[in-house]
Amino acid sequence: MVQLRLPVQPDRDGSPAAAWIVRTEPPIALRDEGPLAGLRFAVKDNIDVEDVATTAACPAFSYRPQRHASVVQRLLAAGARLLGKTNLDQFACGLNGTRSPYGAVPNAFNPAYVCGGSSSGSAYVVATGQADFALGTDTAGSGRVPAGFNNIVGLKPSKGLLSTRGVLPAAQSVDCVSIFAPTVGMAARVLQAAHGHDPEDPYSRKLKLVDRPFPARFRFGVPDRLNFFGDELSRLAFVQAVQTLQELGGTRVAVDYRPLAGAGALLYESALVAERYAALRSFFDGRDGDIIEPVRSIIGAGCGYSAAEWCEAQAMLRSYGQLADVMWDRIDTLVVPTAPTIYTIAQMHADPVALNRNLGAYTNFVNLLDYAALAVPAAMRPDGLPFGITFIGACGSDWQLAELGQRFHHATGLPQGATGVPLPPPESIPGLAAPRTVKVAVVGAHLSGMPLNGQLTERGATLLRSAHTAPDYRLYALPGTTPPKPGLLRVAPGSGARIALEIWEMPLEQYGSFVAMIPPPLGIATLRLDDGTQVQGFSCEALATEHAEDISEFGGWRAYLAAQTERVA
């Protein structure tokens, strides 16, 4: 294996070499088969690859590991091929991608703008199609902000789901390995291959992930206070994203953002920052010339806190968590801008601390409060830069977020990253069980556009197709019903008419409440369709049709109502 350490200048394919630390020739591979066979990936340079130097963007810190990180080993065993290691904000400290001696990683759409960090190189190589997926790390948003800035997916799993053995800590108790991919489906496939308990990781957990999707009608929380730092383009893009979610069946619910913001502020403005210092203490002390600013100042701020102050900060964090968790009684997922704005590289160099803090306005609290998150592309702004949103859920909701995130991503019609390639068809999310549903045929007031159709849609039912009964039924206009309703009566085979109907699919858990709303003389029976299949559907008691008008000649309720309207006109 030859390691190609790249200079900070355009690479052979025209992309900035600052995105790469090392490329391996040929790619590292264990096998040619498996669920990820044929896929190429890269890893952030704070994740160990056997016999390839880990620098964390600090050459003086460099060491050569003797083992792959657990997550790398799992991906290689699944058939993926490792291309090399990618640039990052030094020691994974930053959300902008400019804090590296190897150079600032540019935005994939406009090189004057930041790529986002700290996992900047991993996001860039996925967005430009140089890798099929990549690993980053996420302590405070590093696996999400670069995804939002480069029109790709950033999956931040529940803490402990992916092993961090062989990953240089930033703040070990809240660190996560993250996944960048052009689509949610691919990110989910990688998560399926990579996750699993690891006894060598002190923070690994045996998590039972929820295996059912959110309902078709879902509730999404939005912070009751949003700050886009004067960026009107991002604000409008978020407004459009909220509208898209509502069109997909979501109901917007305002949530109190104060406890979330309070928790996020603790990461750098309390004794919790001592964990960043603890991760590097043996190297950090006395190495002033080897660590760049502002990384040195940020990590160094953790030196002065006492153990008592750290305990106080932990108690305050738990208090914020208790206040925040009540929102899950009212919502299925929380939706936030992945980042509220974006800056040029020049702006970031001029004010690196304050502007970096702004980028983490909606990311810092997630790991501290033990949530899962998924950053998904939402729009291309009029200035040609991407905008993304993040779905946040309770610990263990990873597959649910993936299913909803994929629904949203495909509704945007955006291409994959900066490649211009259209999104492929949606994939099955691997960790979800097949939904339990029931099909029900409707013939009258529940038809789409009719007065009672809301009883179906509010229960998450979706229209599958239009169809007709076998010629074994008669349709009657029932007198005195409000709203007007027909009755479908089964008669001798071949002595009736083919009656138009719609077939809807409803979550099984909603079916009982739907049937309970059906008033007599109507009920549910097994209907025979003209293609020979059977389905549950509306029927009527024979006694109720004795004095009702037989409208079978119209072939369906909709045609009958249209004829009545024409007659009145």
Which residues are catalytically annotated?
44, 118, 142
Between CA 86 and CA 339 the distance in angstroms is 22
Residue 180, beta-bridge partner list = 134, 154
82 by DSSP, 3-state: which?
strand
* Token pair of 449 as six digits: 């556009």
CA distances from 385 to 5, 159, 339, 347, 348 (A): 30, 30, 12, 16, 17
Question: Rounded to 10 degrees, what is the CA torsion of 276, 279, 285, 288?
Answer: -60
| Alpha helical stretches, state H, 195-231 | none
What φ, ψ does residue 388 adopt, rounded to 5°?
-135, 160
Q: Alpha helix locations (H) across 33-136?
A: 70-77, 120-127
CB 26 within 8 A of CB 1: yes
Rg value, the chain, Cα:
28
The residue type found at 178 is S
Amino acid at 326: V
Cβ proximity of 557 and 473 under 8 Å = no
- Matching residue, tokens 């501290």: 368
Closest-CA residue to 398 (of 559, 197, 161):
161
> What is the biggest distance separating any 2 CA atoms in the chain, rounded to whole angstroms?
97
Q: Which residues sit opposite 376 in a β-bridge?
A: 389
CA distance 280 to 169: 8
